Amino acid sequence: MRSHSRLFPSLRPRLAALVRDRRGSTIGIMAAGLIVGIGSLGSAIDAGRMYIVKSQLQAGVDAAALAGARAFGVTDTSPNSRTKQVDSYFDGNFPRSPAYMGTTNVTVTPTFAVVNGVNVTTVNAAATLDMSFMRLFGFSSVTMRAVAKAELQPRTLEVMVVMDNTGSMKDYLSNGKTRITALKEAANSFVDILFQGGTQRKDLALGFVPYDITVNVGNLLLARRSGAVAQVQGFNTATEASSYGSWPTNPYYWKGCVMNDTTVRDLSADRTVSEPGAWDVTRTLPGEGGNNKPVMPYFIPPMYVPALASSAATAAQKANKAGDFYNIYSSEPSNNLYRLDTTSYGDAGGDYLANSAAYRSWLYDYYIGLNDGGATSDDDVIRLANPKGGYYDPTTGDRASTNWYVDWKRIPNYYTKWASTPGTSKVNPNGGITDNGSQNTTPGKSPNWQCPEEAMLPLYNRPKTDYTNYIRDSNAAIYPANGTIHHAGLLWAYRLLVRDDVFLRPRPLGLTAEKPRRAIVFMTDGINEVGQNQNGYIDRTFTWYGRWSDKTLSTSDDPNVVKTQMLRRFAKTCANIQREDNAPQVYIIALVANSADISSAFDACAPGRVYRTTNATQLNAAFQNVAAELVDLHLTQ
């Protein structure tokens, strides 16, 4: 047999040459490599798109779970409901219309459950992403999935909420609601989150303090410290209660608002220093601490007009009963202040209340201008007590004298402009829902005019309805008016919260002995403001610190100096709160307020916890965010 080499003598060298020849092979190699490279690059691009979608999908469920947990207790169909909040926050991070990065079949599924007493919100989401280059490998689309779980793990919590009830709260916001209406809605959202769908929460002690230029805490204080509030004849002694009944049966009896504690004037700018004697910025209660006297009951006296009562007023002005000098505007306390019935009472004659220690000196100041001579004494309100009814010469005595009385029947415009009997001083849950005093004012102007409803003590295990009813009926149950004194509300929220040795709040069985988390949520829509001029008159304003001309806060009556003193008291109260053992965290929610000095004071009082809002939506969100923080909202998956 012939060998192959003999049959094909030239094949071997030619094959060897072909193997050694590299000419023309680059194109083939490149073609093969290009296919692999394009696939790899395309896969990387698609993988990058998958990563971005997955990350954003996770961000969407994280935000949705937190939002749903925050609104866990809101199960209705409103925009604030938990399901609507889940959808809203998911769409804010992963839009479904138009679809994020072209995804399709986007689904969001929230689940709300209570597991071992803990509220758990779980949000699952899925989205389909079409592939571009990976189709070469048989992958036309990929479904991305993400899950997040948020839990609210409540701990023992004590909270005081301070609510602005001042005049500007009846102003309208951009959505057509008044500020007080927005506050009511936001406060209810706050309560909803704290209760998380339950009707009672034993580890929560929640309280409220409505404020304007005073606060109503007197009866709460007296119930625990007898003698802490001074007794004023004709206003809040047992005699009045036994003879005429207590408030609200007797609208002239003390309702419970208090004046400021004993204090000193012209406090320093150092917020960390509480000057000796300035009891109005400390935790010390009235009657404690040696020189801290019982607090005086707050009441609206007859309006005082020193500028017009001075020699600058002409005799004609003083003698004209129908003139502006004696014309108390309808928006101010009426003559109901001055009488209890139509009969005389007491040895001095005239109405008992008009001649009581509560009003005697104020009426003297207001009406002594009519005493311009014995020959014209028929129009005098201030009359000689002995002999009764004679002319009282103001040059022989003053407001502290005893030989005069108030003849209420001679009060100018009594029969023509002032009602002869008082209205009913009832709580009005519609106070401030419109900026119309004739529709929602609290009738029965009295010594308690513009006194807010009584504060609510922080107590454990109250039913949720107690709080929602309070927000509805007691927050701004008066027609909002008067000025703003921030630290009146802040100070008493501070005291009611930390002085649990006086304002006791026994813990229900089963709660741990650990110190509770404490917080004060302070809401305001304005700056510290007490106008010196009201209704065109000087010194008609009467507040927590008395009348303007008393110069209680400063030796100066310059409005800017007085406002500075009020601001310093707010700052010093905050500093004292911060120094407390187990100090309450202060949260400040400011609506519209934008003063630079008060803004700085807010930041120092609540660093990192000041919410500045301008509308009802932002106000509601601020209350929700604070509530969520207080109940320890966090992601667990």
DSSP 38-56: HHHHHHHHHHHHHHHHHHH
User: What pLDDT score was predicted for residue 414?
Assistant: 45
Of 203 and 140, more confident: 203
Three-state DSSP class for 558? coil
Question: Is residue 511 predicted with pLDDT exceeding 60?
Answer: yes
Task: Report yes or no: 62 and 635 within 8 Å, Cβ to Cβ.
Answer: yes
Question: Is residue 339 predicted with pLDDT exceeding 80?
Answer: no
> The tokens of 203 are what?
């580890």
In angstroms, rounded to a whole number, what is the distance separating the alpha carbons of residues 601 and 331?
33
Task: Report yes or no: 433 and 286 within 8 Å, Cβ to Cβ.
Answer: no
Q: What's the rounded mean pLDDT across residues 414-434?
A: 56
In angstroms, rounded to a whole number, what is the distance separating the alpha carbons of residues 453 and 455?
6
At 103, which amino acid appears?
T
Question: Which region, left, alpha or beta, applies to residue 629 given φ > 0 means left and ψ of -120 to 50 means alpha?
Answer: alpha
Confidence of residue 319 (pLDDT cuts 50, 70, 90): low
Say what the pTM is: 0.74
Q: Which residues of 382-397 are buried (b: 16+ CB within 10 A; e: fewer)?
A: bbbbeeeeeebebeeb
User: What pLDDT score was predicted for residue 289?
Assistant: 78
User: What pLDDT score was predicted for residue 118?
Assistant: 76
* Digit-coded pLDDT (tens) for 573-597: 999 999 999 999 999 999 987 778 8
Question: Is residue 425 predicted with pLDDT exceeding 70?
Answer: no
Of 403 and 70, more confident: 403
In angstroms, rounded to a whole number, what is the distance separating the alpha carbons of residues 157 and 541?
39
Confidence of residue 467 (pLDDT cuts 50, 70, 90): very high
Of 21 and 80, more confident: 80
Confidence of residue 505 (pLDDT cuts 50, 70, 90): very high
In angstroms, rounded to a whole number, what is the distance separating the alpha carbons of residues 260 and 268?
18
* Digit-coded pLDDT (tens) for 620-632: 999 988 998 898 7
* Digit-coded pLDDT (tens) for 12-44: 666 566 556 655 555 555 555 555 555 566 677
Residues in the chain: 637
Sequence-ordered list of residues with C-beta below 8 angstroms from that of 289, at least 6 positions apart, any chain: 279
Q: Which domains does the chain have, with CATH numbers?
A: 27-151 (no CATH), 157-297+428-635 (3.40.50.410), 306-331+335-417 (no CATH)
User: What pLDDT score was predicted for residue 94?
Assistant: 94
* Digit-coded pLDDT (tens) for 604-616: 999 999 999 999 9
Question: Is residue 249 predicted with pLDDT exceeding 60?
Answer: yes
Q: Write out the E strands in 223-270.
A: 257-258
Question: Is residue 73 predicted with pLDDT exceeding 60?
Answer: yes
Of 318 and 230, more confident: 230
User: What pLDDT score was predicted for residue 423?
Assistant: 46
User: What pLDDT score was predicted for residue 338?
Assistant: 38
* Mean predicted lDDT score pLDDT of the chain: 80
Q: What's the rounded mean pLDDT across residues 313-319?
A: 64
* Digit-coded pLDDT (tens) for 186-211: 999 999 888 877 788 889 999 999 99
Instruction: Note the helical H segments in 482-558.
Output: 486-498
* Digit-coded pLDDT (tens) for 530-583: 655 544 455 556 788 887 667 888 998 787 888 899 999 999 999 999 999 999
Nearest residue to 274 via CA among 544, 485, 497, 568: 568
